[in-house]
Amino acid sequence: MAETITIEVARYRPEQEGEPALQSYEVPLNKDWVVLDALNHIKDHVDGSLSFRWSCRMGVCGSCGMTVNGEPKLTCATFLSHYAPGPIRVEPLKNFPVVRDLVIEMTDFMEKLQSVKPWIVRQDDPAPAKGEFLQTPEQLDEFKQFSMCINCMICYAACPVYGLDPQFVGPAAIALAQRYNQDSRDQGEQERMDVLSQHEGIWGCTFVGECTEVCPKDVDPAGAIQQYKLAATKEWFKSFLMPWSKQ
């Protein structure tokens, strides 16, 4: 008989249950299977009502973030065998409202992302037909790692500040603001600074860097936050010492 492993999945159907409860399933412990494969096995062959998001199964669409044995993970890149002999507990990402089962509500992030103006801001607007903006490989390296964010929400799930204060813009949105600030083609740093400084939450961020620890794409949001704080502090001193310079 093939080996199996127990998966305890958080179930929550708001039309049926007042609060989430764990449900256990036995799934084959296939060495090639990731947690997401096990969830699909359950959905296809055991219980069609289990709900979760997934799409690419190659770690780039950012859909399948969940809490696996207490840690936020992309379930398409988390092997069952790593947790043998089990059980494995799969829950929705922390720090977000739960819509149903393993599906969280992420509209808050979508608004925050838009608020930091994650696009190229130019005072001038040269026509593309005139050719590309020159950017050396070294200039590309300045922002490249921040551009690798897949918006998977794993850093928000790990962020102690966001957990306490949902107003906090949060690691991914700040990293993406910094992605544009550091891009040699961009001229919008001041506008973004104004947005980020509207909320105090950022100062609550410690140097612990859980966001950077958990990021599946090796983005360093904690580094982005520290870069921002440094820039904002300089700005503050400048406005304090030279109040006329601001306008």
Query: Under the rule (CB under 8 A), what is the footprint of another protein?
Result: 13-16, 32, 43-45, 47-49, 51-63, 77, 99-101, 103, 105-107, 110, 113-114, 117-120, 126, 128-129, 131-137, 139-140, 143-144, 147-148, 150-151, 176, 180, 183, 185-186
Distance of closest approach, residue 176 Cβ to another protein, in angstroms: 7
Paired with 6 in beta bridges are: 26
Nearer to another protein, 135 or 190 (CB): 135
User: Amino acid identity of 168?
Assistant: F
Nearer to another protein, 47 or 213 (CB): 47
208 and 157 Cβ atoms separated by less than 8 Å: no
Distance of closest approach, residue 38 Cβ to another protein, in angstroms: 14
Distance of closest approach, residue 185 Cβ to another protein, in angstroms: 7
Nearer to another protein, 67 or 182 (CB): 182
Nearer to another protein, 161 or 181 (CB): 181
Distance of closest approach, residue 204 Cβ to another protein, in angstroms: 26
Nearer to another protein, 103 or 232 (CB): 103
Distance of closest approach, residue 179 Cβ to another protein, in angstroms: 9
